[in-house]
Structures are given as structure tokens and as C-alpha cells.
Amino acid sequence: MTSNDPQRSTRHDLDPHLQRYAARAVGMTASEVRALFAVASRPEVVSLAGGMPNLAALPLDSLSAEVAQIIATEGLTALQYGSAHGVPKLREQICDVMALEGVTGHPDDIVITVGSQMALDLVTRIFCDPGDVVLAEGPSYVGALGTFASYEADVVHVAMDEHGLVPDALRAALAAVERAGKRAKFLYTIPNFQNPAGVTMAVDRRAEIVEICARHRVLVVEDNPYGLLGFDGQIYPALRSMDADNVVYLGSFSKTFASGLRVGWALAPHAVREKLVLAAESAALCAPTLNQMVVSRYLATHDWKSQIKSFQEMYRERRDAMLGALEQHMPPGCTWTRPDGGFFVWLTVPEGIDTKAMQPRAVTERVAYVPGTGFYADGFGSRQMRLSFCYPTPERIREGVRRLAAVLSEELQLVDTFGPAAPRSSHGPLTPAPDTE
């Protein structure tokens, strides 16, 4: 027997470091989204899986001139280390961006991060000990679930409906956590055009949710990368605008400007901001100075509001293509959400179909999606999938939905003939309301 024998190789042969990993590394596995990346990016496959922003509308010529100008005139600063707190001018400009959502933050209370993903990491790092509870909508953003797992926090999901997080479900979750003698450290929520569900928290729920959390002494972490991407130009008030003392707001330029620059931020209550700066320093020393200066220059010299408007229009056209195709092709029994912004539709399929088990068949039929189980920490979501409309053209979206509907119809026939696949898990708490069917 050799260790190359695939029949006989053990986990230790595959990774001789297995015994050495910290406990928090053991659960680190590729997310369903990442695992799909290779197949989904084959040209013949219509990918409704990835959530990459579509940058085609960016003014590349003027941006390259700006970057050249920054290096020519401020190169020694732009190419140097900066402070972990972030470039001061950019922090001031971020206050103007957040003012659109009613937030009145001070530039000192902002920490610039390498995307809001890093902000999520820092917040979890400073608040969560192993076994602490993080409350999160069910379903929730894969990248956040990965971060919570890496700090060995326990995620307790809170149900949503078509109006976002349900306040009564939050009360019940808090009561259950308290009964179990555990500590809920924060509520993680994506109130606008949620990833993956595509729903938005109703305005009249926001103050209630903020108030419940304050009463239970649970911090709110408001993750808002899509807030300015409402398809009718609507902008919802941030939770942070309702309670500056108990809400950490996470923002990002990834969806409204350029994801590859990796510039995001956290606006935190003053004492928390101190800890975030220290944590940022130990994680990365500072976010890239050049990238921060590029964003700052872009905000100062470009009509960024008009640019966001053209992103809104492009994504709205794609959303319409997806909703129209779903209406036209989906077999009876499927339901889906109807986002009014952002990138995602959340589809629920009839009983008996397991979206993860169906996935290889869908890829064979040249369409990719993300199975719902990846968006839950507790195995829910087997009858759900996330469909992204942000990247492919409207024609490709229509074709992708047509292919997906054909796969689902065949799968349903199999269920009719042979009975349902053995259930792996029940479906998640997000039950689309009748008007989303």
C-alpha cells in the first residue's frame, strides 16, 4: 500500500498537518459558492450562482487617469503604509455617503477595512469567544457564516418573511438563548436587499428590532453593502440612524464602485471603534493606502451618484429578466422572492426535491445556482436555492432560468414516479408569503 493509493489514503495522508490545526480551523471548508466557482465559470454554463458585481459601466479611462495622477503627485504617500484607522479624507467622504441613509456618524468613528468582509472579521474577533451566540437571519450571507464559524461562535438563525427579519422571531430566539444560559453577543442583519433572500426589512420593523436588541443588551451589526442599489432609487433609513450607541454599521464600495479595490468600513460606537482599530492593526496593519486614495479621488471627482444610478438601472433590467422568466417557466409549486434592489432571488422548490442533490444534474444541463443549505449554519435550506441576476446578460438569465425550470420539471416527474428523495433537512424559516408565489 502506498499513500498515493486513493482507495487507501487516509485523511492524514491527504493532509499531514491535520493533527496540528487549531480547533477553529477544523470546520473551515470551501463554501458552496466557492466550490461551485470552477464549474459555474465554464462558458457553456449559465451561472446564476456567483454574486460578482457587474463593473462594465465603470468609466475605466478616466479612472486610469486618476490613478496615474495619484501616483504622479502623491505617490510617496499612496505607496506607503498608512494608519489602521484609514485615510482621513476618505473617512469624511464616507460620512457623506452614509448621510443618504440618515446616518450622522463622525469620521473618527469610522475604521477603513479591506472590504466589509474584514470588518465582519474584526467585529467577530473583538466580541466573540468560542460558544458565544451570534443571531443571524435565516438564511444569511455565506461569508459571514464562515467568519462566525472561524471564531467558533454558535449561529442561531432568526426567521424572516417577505418584510425581512421578524421581530417576534427575534424575541423568541433571544428568550431561547437566555433560557439555554448562553450569551448572544450580537444580531447580524443585512436589512436591505438581503443576501441571499433578496428581501428588505420593513421600515416600521427597524426601530422595533433596534429597541429589542438594546433592551437585551445585544449589539446590532448592520451589514449594508447593497443599500444604495434600490431599483427605484429608494433608500431606506439605516438601523444605525436609530441607535448610534448600539449599532455597528458595515459599509462597502464593492457594489457601488469597485469590488477589487477592497475598500469597506465600519462605523462603530466610539469605544468599539478603539478596539476595531487595534484589531485592524494586528490583522493587516492598514488597508491599502493607494486603494483608499483611489476611492477618495473617485468620490471627489466623479459623479458617483449618477454612476450608482446606472448600476441600479442595469441590475433592474436583469432582475426583470429573471422574474419574467421565472413567471414564464417555473413549474407549479415553486415560489420565489421579488427583490426591489440588490443581486438575488431566493427560490423555494416543491417538497421532495433536494436542491443540493439536484445540482450536478443542473450543471450537466448547463445552469448553476447555489443550493440553500450553504446559507444556513444548521442544515436548513434543502428546498431552497439562491439565484443571482447581477452578472449575466438578460438573455443569458432568461436562458438559464429556462434550463433550470426544465431540470426542475424532470425532477418533479421523478418524484411523482418514485417518491421524494430521503429528506436531508427541512426547509428554512424564510417562507415566502402568498403574494410572492
Ligand X SMILES: Cc1ncc(COP(=O)(O)O)c(C=O)c1O
Q: Residue 20: exposed, middle, or buried by beta-carbon count in 10 A (0-12, 13-18, 19+)?
A: exposed
Residue placing its CB nearer to ligand X in the complex, 264 or 428: 264
- Asked if 374 interacts with ligand X (CB under 6 A), we say no
Does residue 93 interact with ligand X by CB under 6 A? no
Query: CA–CA separation, 201 vs 117, rounded Å?
Result: 21
Q: Among 190, 199, 258, 430, which residue sits at the site for ligand X (rule: CB under 6 A)?
A: 190
Minimum CB separation of residue 243 from ligand X in Å reads 20
Our CB check for ligand X shows the closer of 141 and 304 to be 141
Binding residue for ligand X, selected from 264, 339, 392, 400, defined by CB under 6 A: 264
CB atoms within 10 A of CB 399: 17
What residues have CB less than 8 Å from 16, skipping those under 6 apart? none
As measured in angstroms, the least distance from the Cβ of 199 to ligand X is 13
Which position among 252, 291, 312, 348 is part of the footprint of ligand X (CB under 6 A)?
252
Which CB atom, from 146 or from 167, has the smaller least distance to ligand X?
A: 146
288 binding ligand X? (CB under 6 A): no
> Shortest gap between Cβ of 224 and ligand X (angstroms)?
8
Rounded Cα gap, residues 316 and 339, in angstroms: 10
* Pick from 297, 262, 288, 257: nearest CA to 66: 297
Amino acid at 305: K
For the chain, the first-to-last Cα distance in angstroms comes to 57
Closest CB to ligand X among residues 255, 398: 255
Burial label for 17, CB within 10 Å (0-12, 13-18, 19+), is exposed
Please provide the DSSP assignment of 3-55 as one string: TT-TTT--HHHH-TTGGGS-HHHHT----HHHHHHHHHTSTTSEE-S------
Q: Is 51 in the site for ligand X (CB under 6 A)?
A: yes
Q: Does residue 342 touch ligand X according to CB under 6 A?
A: no
Q: How far apart are CA 372 and CA 359, in angstroms?
A: 11
**Contact with ligand X (CB under 6 A): which of 241, 246, 254, 289?**
254
**Residue whose CB is less far from ligand X, 116 or 382:** 116
Number of Cβ atoms within 10 Å of the Cβ of 52: 15
Residues 112-151 that bind ligand X (CB under 6 A): 115-117, 141, 143
String marking each residue 194-233 x if it binds ligand X according to CB under 6 A: -x---------------------------x-x--------
Position of minimal CB gap to ligand X:
115
| 47 counts as binding ligand X under rule CB under 6 A | no
Half-sphere exposure of residue 309, counting CA atoms within 13 Å on the CB side?
6
Question: What is the contact surface with ligand X in residues (CB under 6 A)?
Answer: 51, 115-117, 141, 143, 190, 195, 223, 225, 252, 254, 259, 264
